[in-house]
Amino acid sequence: MGSCDQAENLSVTVPTALILEMPLGLAVIYGVAAVLWYELLRSAVLGRVARRRRKGEHLRSVDSLEEAELAESQRETAEQEAAEASEPDPARRLYFLARKTATAERDLAIEAASEAAARAIKRIEDRYGEIAKGLDDEEARRLGYRSERKA
């Protein structure tokens, strides 16, 4: 019986600010709301962290792709120049020379066509100007004729 006496002497003091009197259902609802709130915050934080990691990986992959494409084009150019200079196969050398010539001819043809188009546009604009001037002169004569008849 001594242990019962000891239990009666021990008392737990709880601050009155922590004592809440509410129905059990309301306490359960608050508990569920707290868990949901925690999970939503955790999900949002993890989503942002994952998005930031993906964005960083994407930027690194874009940079590496651009660098890889630049290196590839430089390597191809170097291979082509080396092939032109030291290739014992005359067919390949002639192919590269023909390709350069065709590119130069294409550029000249584009330039000539652009100049011809510019000249044609200029002629059309001049002709429209002449037509407009002729219409203005004709309209002025017609108006002059009307004003002479009224006077």
Q: Are 83 and 96 in contact (CB under 8 A)?
A: yes
Other C-beta atoms closer than 10 Å to the C-beta of 42 total 10
Provide the 3-class DSSP secondary structure of residue 19: coil
Q: What's the rounded mean pLDDT across residues 73-83?
A: 77
CA distance 71 to 63: 12
Q: Determine contact, residues 80/96, Cβ cutoff 8 Å.
A: yes
Rounded to whole angstroms, the Cα distance separating 18 from 21 reads 10
Residues 115, 109 contacting (CB under 8 angstroms)? no
What confidence score (pLDDT) does residue 1 get? Answer: 46
- 93 versus 4: the higher-pLDDT residue is 93
Give per-residue pLDDT as tens, 118-149. Answer: 999 999 999 988 888 888 777 777 766 665 66
Provide the pLDDT confidence category of residue 11 given band limits of 50, 70 and 90: low
Phi, psi of 12 (to 5 degrees): -100, 130
pLDDT for residue 19: 67
pLDDT mean over 92-112: 90
